[in-house]
Structure 1
């Protein structure tokens, strides 16, 4: 799978661990920064990852900041993006199965590496169930269209 990844300085170390893990699993990973612990602004990174997913340059994205909050809010401003801030494996599974989340947001100062990797695995291996959930995702898309004119 082609996966976009990005973080601010607060998520840099976790991003690097996830990036290595994904590459070891055979995924193609496109890194949109940060490239060190030097301070950067998460809205810019969230936008870059979200645009790459929206334009289908990458199948999915993973974004990380200190809490995951700011970068997920930023990514969700891009039409077509459903970024889910996740801190456990059940929510990771449901974000894909019920919400068809195309970006996973994590908190680099909230999660340990082992749990984060478990979350990534569950999220990547869960398919969207469709059915009644598709109707709801379509209503999200309708809201997006209604207010992004």
Structure 2
């Protein structure tokens, strides 16, 4: 799988720590920055990652900022993105099984590297449940997106 990753200045260290794990699981990492502590704007990195996922140029995305909240808000503005903010193992599994999330958001100031590695591993390895009730709910989310989309 191709995994697009992006972080702001408050999340780049965790991004850099997670990349070797993701590669060791057999995935290709596409790094869209940032790679320093200089202040940057998280929406820029959320957009870079989410455009790749939405276009099918990456299979999934991972975004990291201080709390993960800003990245999640920005990511979910991109049509086709279902970004989940996750800080525990149960939610990592549930968001894939039930919500078919295609982007994961983490907060470097919230989770340590050990927990973050477990979250990423579970999230990447868990498949979407094909159960009718879950598929129906995801389709309703897509319908909401279509309803409020601005068409030129």
2:30 is matched with: 30
Please give the secondary structure, in 1, of the residue aligned with 2:11: helix
Aligned to 2:16: 16
Query: Within 1, Cα distance between the matches of 2:5 and 2:37?
Result: 16
Corresponding position of 1:89: 89
Q: Which runs of 4+ in 1 moved over 6 A?
A: none
| Residue 74 (structure 2) aligns with | 74
Provide structure 2 residue ranges, at least 5 long, that are not aligned to the other structure. none
Spell out the pairing of 1:113-128 with structure 2 (5 A cutoff): 113-128=113-128
Cα distance in 2, alignment partners of residues 20 and 52 from structure 1: 21
Q: Report how many residues are paired.
A: 149
- 1:77-131: CA deviation from partner (whole Å, max 9, x where unpaired): 0000000000001001010000000000000111100000000011001100022
Q: RMSD across aligned C-alpha pairs, in angstroms?
A: 0.7
Deviations 1:5-52 (A, max 9, x none): 000010011000011211222210000100211111000000110000
- Worse overlay, 125-134 or 80-89: 125-134
Relative to the length of structure 2, the TM-score reads 0.96
